[in-house]
Amino acid sequence: MLTLLCLAMTSAFTQSIKRPKLIVGIVIDQMRYDYLYKYYDRYDDKGGFKTLLNGGFSCENTFIPYIPTVTACGHSCIYTGSVPAINGITGNIWWDNDLKRSVYCTEDSTVHTIGTNTAAGLQSPRNLLTNTIGDELKLATNFKSKVIGVALKDRGSILPAGHTGDAAYWYDGSAGKWITSDYYMKTFPDWVVAFNEKKLIDDYYKKGWRTLYPPDSYSESTKDINAYEAKPLGSNSKGFPYDLAAFAGKNYSTVLSTPFGNTLTAEFAKQAVISENLGNDDITDLLAVSFSSPDYIGHAFGPNSIEVEDNYLRLDKDLGDFIRFLDDRVGKNEYLLFLSADHGVAHVPAFASEHHIPSGTLDVGSIKERLNNDLNEKMGKNNLILSIANYQINLNPDAIKFDDNKMAEVKKVIIDYLSKEPGIERVIDLENLGGATLNEKVKMMISNGYNPHRSGQLQIILQPQWMENYGNTGTTHGNWNPYDSHIPLLWYGWGIGKGQSNREVYMTDIAPTIAGLLHIQMPNGSVGHVISEVAK
C-alpha cells in the first residue's frame, strides 16, 4: 500500500512540473548584436528575426565575459553556463601545457568517423571538462530526453550536445556529407544516409548566389568588390552574381561560404526533428543548431559587405521557415527557443582605415620569430617561445630551467619588447593578473579565459580595431571589445514573455536560465545567473 501511495504521489508531482516538449538552441556563428537592427527594415515580417524580436524577449545588452571570443569557447559557454577557466575550452586550438603540443578543441584519436572514410570524424566532447544543460536535462529525466547537436562545424555541434548527447552531426566538406563519430553511435541512421543521398549542395551550386534584391538597393553596405575582400568563391570571382555551377559534383566545401550553408543546416535540423521524433511526447528534448556559414562569409568579406547583408536577409527567411516548421511539427508555444551568437567580429582593418578609424594588424608569426631571436641574444636560449595562440604567449618550460627570478627576467624581456610593437596596448603576466593596473572588465575577461593547463603565461592586449593578421584581406574576432563580445540573445515560445531588457547580462546566463525555467539543476561548472525577466 505504501509503495502504491508513493508511486501515486510521484506521478502527481511529475505531472505538476510543466516543461516544454522541445528546447531549440540556435547559435549564429559570428553575429554582432547590431545586425538585429542594422538590417531590421529589410527583414521579412514573417522572417525569423522579427518573429523573435516582436513575439519574444530580447536581452539587448548580452556580453561574452571572457577572452578569446572564438567559436569553441562561445558554444561551450552557452551550453555549460561556464567560462574557459572552468570548462577548459580555452580556444579553437590551444597549447596544452601537460601534453606539450597544440590541441584542437574536439580532437579525439580514440574514435572513428561514421558516415565517410575520412578523418573528419575523429572528434568528441572529451576535452570539455564540465557538463552541459543537455547533460543536466538527461540526468533530470533519467536519460529519457533526447539531445542532438547539428552544425556544419564539428565544434559547433559537438560541444553543445555535451557528453551524453544522443548524436552530434557535422559536415565533411571533402565528401559533401553529414557525418558523426562512433563516440555517439556504431551505425549511421538511415535517415542521415538518405539525406546525404539527396545531394542538395549540387542543386544550390546550380542556382548560384545572386542577391535577394537588386544589388543597388543594399544601402546598408559598401559597394560590391573591394580589394580588402577575400575570394572564397573562386580566385576569378568578381562579385555578384556568383556563378557556382562549376563546383557541382567536385567541390563540396565552397558551400560553407554561401548562404546555402544555412539552408542546408536548417533542412538537416528539420529532418532530425522528424526522424528522431524530437518534441513528440511529454519528455523534453533538446536540439542545438548552429549556423556556421555567417562566420565563413564574415571572415572573407567583413561586416559592411553586401555578402554579409544578403546572407542575413536570406538567413532571416530560413529562420522564419524553421520556426513555422516547429509550430506545425511540435506545436506553437510547445517549444522553448533561444537565439544567440558565439562571438561578433571586427570591421576589416582596411575598411576602418578608409573611414579614419585607427586600426591595423599584427603579424604573430613574425613576432614569435623576432622575439625568439631577441631572447636568444639576451638569455642565450633557443626557442623559449613555443607558441603564440589566442593572443597568449606560451613559454617553453624545458628550455627555461631557471629560478623564479630568471623566469621573471624572461617575461620582462618579452614585455619590454612587445610594448614597442605597433597595435599592442599592453602585455599582462597572467600569474600576476591580480596586481595588474587594468580596467576591471578586461581583467575579468582575461581571468575567466585563463586555465593554467591550457593557457599561456603572458596575455597580449591589442588596441581597439587591431587584430591578428591572416593576410591582406578579410577580418577576424577574438578580443574583448564590444564588436567581438556584444551578442544578441532572443527568447521565444514556451514560458517566455514579450519584451526586452537593457540590463547587462552574460552568455553564461543562458544555461542557468533554461535550468530555472525547467526546474532542473544547472550545469556543474555554471557561474551564470537566471535572467528572471524572460519568464512570463
Active site residues: 71
Residues 466, 360: contact at Cβ < 8 Å?
A: yes
Angle between helix 404-418 and helix 364-379 axes, rounded to 10 deg: 130
CA 525 to each of CA 26, 27, 159, 529: distance values in angstroms, whole numbers, following the listed order: 22, 20, 14, 12
- Look at residue 118 and give its three-state secondary structure: coil
Phi then psi dihedrals of residue 123, to 5 deg: -140, 150
Q: For residues 57 and 478, what is the distance between their CA atoms, to the nearest angstrom? A: 27
Cβ neighbours for 70, distance < 8 A, ≥ 6 positions apart: 91, 92, 342, 343, 390, 477, 478
Nearest Cα to Cα of residue 151 among 179, 111, 132: 179
Q: In whole angstroms, what separates CA 178 from the centre of its chain?
A: 19
Sign of the CA dihedral 320, 323, 327, 332?
negative
Residues 526, 511: contact at Cβ < 8 Å?
A: yes
Residues 182, 117: contact at Cβ < 8 Å?
A: no
Q: In whole angstroms, what separates CA 227 from the centre of its chain?
A: 28
H-run or E-run covering 368: helix 364-379
Nearest Cα to Cα of residue 501 among 528, 535, 467: 535
Q: What are the b/e assignments for 435-448, b being 16+ CB within 10 Å?
A: ebebeeebbebbbb
Q: For residues 58 and 532, what is the distance between their CA atoms, to the nearest angstrom? A: 12
Residues 165, 147: contact at Cβ < 8 Å?
A: yes
With 0-12 CB in 10 A as exposed, 13-18 as middle and 19+ as buried, what is 342?
A: buried
> Using only C-alpha atoms, what is the Rg of the chain?
24
Nearest Cα to Cα of residue 213 among 41, 29, 37: 41
Nearest Cα to Cα of residue 292 among 337, 326, 260, 336: 260
